[in-house]
Each structure stands twice: as structure tokens, then as C-alpha cells.
């Protein structure tokens, strides 16, 4: 597949707002790395602003994947600025952590890719190998534009799957991860009006997209009946989503790009006034 075709394949996949359904699973997988969990628990205000991490991640992902160089550079500046204070030393029960840890950044990017592939295939079936390979490479800049560079990022779906299975075996869902997960999936007081009604569906989809050992470690109650219910939801979403206008399907991407562009314009204005 030529580079232009690879980019188009990635864009067709990543532009679809339905992938946001996997946001909860991606965050819980990220937290299963104790370094990430410790940093999030100590530096993120999940309880007061539960959507901040999701919105910040979306803005970065869409800016890197779809924005021009100026928009991407602004997204990188924003993330680096937010990451600067996120660091701490090891103690007797937990590892040191830093938001500038290249391996941790690579892990966060890999969770977004793994969940996106899983969700896409749960909805519409297996991806062709060339398309899946293009999607894998499309996610490489998420860590590569930060401190992770491109080193160690798989170049094919097969390489990624092998790497992913190996990493899953080393995960540990600790107290920090469970505490943040509870705030994310059960706290309703800080959610926008009406959003709390979606939490049962979010919890179902999140549990379905997690590997079984991670799901169990977070304490999700999973039964054949629950699986049938969530599979029914997946079938309904798969049938309805392609019928929606592109303006709706791509709305999250366009909203994120507008936010990043607005920040870039403010940054440029501040720089000019500071001269």
C-alpha cells in the first residue's frame, strides 16, 4: 500500500467519532501501568473534571492525525506544558513516574490503537491486513511527536499484536487505578447535564473492550447475559452509525481541531504582543 493510500486508510478509520466509545477502556488500560496510574491519581482532577483527560487526549490525537504542522505543534506544546509537573520518585510500594517517560508514552499510544482496532472489528468485522497495518503506522506519531520518538513502534498489525500480548502480561491493576476508574465510571456530580444517563452504556462497552484478566482485576461483573446485552448494542451501533451524515460522524474530530486552532491563535497573538 502506497504512503498516500496508507494515510487515507488511517484517516477513514480515525475520523469516525464512534471510536470515542472506547475511551473508557483505553484509559483503564493506561491506568493498569502503575506508572501511569500513579501520575494520574496525583496530578489529574478526575473527580472534579472527569472529562478533561478525555478531551485533552482527543485534541492531541486529532491534531496529530489530521492537523497541519502548526496545529500539531500547538497540540504538542499543550501536552508538554501539562506534563511538566507530572513526576515523582519511587517509594516502597510504587515506582517512580514521569509524564516524559518515553516508554509510558508509548504505552498510552498503544492503548488507543488496541482499543480502536478492537472496537472497529467488534462493530464491522476483521480489517484487511493492509488496512490494519496502515492504521498501526498512523498511530505511531502519537508518541513519536512527544518524547517516545518512533523507536520501538511496530510497523505491522502482526508485530503490534505480538508486542501487545507481551505487554498485557506485565500489567498490574492497583489501588490507584481502581480509585480513578471508580471516579471515571460512577461519579456523576461533575458530568454535563444528561451525560450521567449514558454511564451504564459506557460501563458496558468499557468492560467489553477490556481483556478478560484486566476486566476482572477492575471488578466488572461479567456474565453471559451481560455479554449478550453488549453484543446487542454493538450490532445496533454497527447498523445505525454508517447511516448518519458525515458531519455527525466526524463532529468530535472537527470540534477538537477547532479547539486546538483557537489555542494556537491565542498563543501566536500572545507571542506577538510579547515582542
Mean pLDDT of the chain: 89
Q: Is the four-CA dihedral 68, 110, 183, 185 of positive or negative sign?
A: positive
Q: What are phi and psi of 253, to 5 degrees?
A: -60, -45
Q: Are strands 97-98 and 87-88 parallel, antiparallel or unpaired?
A: antiparallel
3-class SS at 98?
strand
Cell triple for residue 251?
463532529
Residue range 10-68, pLDDT digits in tens: 999 999 999 999 999 999 999 999 999 999 888 877 666 667 777 888 999 999 999 99
Residue boundaries of the structural domains of the chain: 3-262
Percent of the chain with pLDDT over 70: 90
- Reported pTM: 0.92
- Bin 98: left if φ > 0, else alpha if -120 < ψ < 50, else beta: beta
Distance, CA of 270 to CA of 275 (rounded, Å): 9
Report whether pLDDT(3) > 90. Answer: no
Q: What is the pLDDT of residue 194?
A: 64
Q: What is the pLDDT of residue 273?
A: 55
Long-range contacts of 157-165, Cβ-Cβ distance < 8 Å, separation of 24 or more:
157/117, 157/127, 157/129, 157/132, 157/133, 160/110, 160/113, 160/114, 160/136, 163/110, 164/110, 164/114
Residue range 88-97, pLDDT digits in tens: 998 877 789 9
DSSP 163: H
Q: What is the mean pLDDT of residues 173-180?
A: 91
Amino acid at each position: 500500500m502506497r504512503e498516500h493510500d496508507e494515510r487515507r486508510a488511517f484517516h477513514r478509520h480515525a475520523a469516525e467519532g464512534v471510536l470515542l466509545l472506547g475511551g473508557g477502556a483505553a484509559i483503564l488500560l493506561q491506568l493498569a501501568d502503575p506508572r501511569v496510574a500513579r501520575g494520574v491519581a496525583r496530578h489529574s482532577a478526575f473527580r472534579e473534571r472527569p472529562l478533561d483527560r478525555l478531551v485533552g487526549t482527543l485534541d492531541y490525537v486529532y491534531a496529530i492525525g489530521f492537523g497541519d504542522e502548526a496545529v500539531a505543534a500547538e497540540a504538542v506544546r499543550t501536552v508538554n506544558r501539562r506534563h511538566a509537573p507530572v513526576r515523582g520518585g519511587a517509594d516502597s510500594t510504587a515506582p517512580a513516574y514521569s509524564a516524559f517517560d518515553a516508554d509510558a508514552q508509548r504505552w498510552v499510544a498503544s492503548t488507543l490503537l488496541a482499543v480502536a482496532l478492537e472496537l472497529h472489528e467488534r462493530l464491522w468485522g476483521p480489517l484487511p491486513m493492509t488496512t490494519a497495518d496502515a492504521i498501526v503506522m498512523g498511530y505511531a506519531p502519537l508518541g513519536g511527536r512527544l518524547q517516545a520518538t518512533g523507536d520501538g513502534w511496530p510497523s505491522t498489525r502482526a508485530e503490534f499484536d505480538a508486542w501487545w500480548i507481551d505487554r498485557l502480561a506485565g500489567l498490574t491493576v492497583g489501588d490507584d487505578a481502581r480509585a480513578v476508574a471508580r471516579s471515571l465510571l460512577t461519579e456523576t456530580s461533575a458530568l454535563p447535564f444528561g451525560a450521567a444517563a449514558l454511564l451504564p452504556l459506557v460501563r458496558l462497552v468499557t468492560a467489553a473492550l477490556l481483556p478478560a484478566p484486566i476486566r476482572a482485576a477492575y471488578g466488572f461483573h461479567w456474565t453471559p447475559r451481560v455479554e449478550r446485552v453488549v453484543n446487542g448494542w454493538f450490532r445496533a451501533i454497527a447498523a445505525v452509525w454508517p447511516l448518519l451524515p458525515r458531519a455527525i460522524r466526524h463532529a468530535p474530530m472537527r470540534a477538537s481541531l477547532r479547539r486546538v486552532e483557537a489555542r494556537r491563535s491565542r498563543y501566536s497573538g500572545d507571542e506577538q504582543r510579547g515582542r
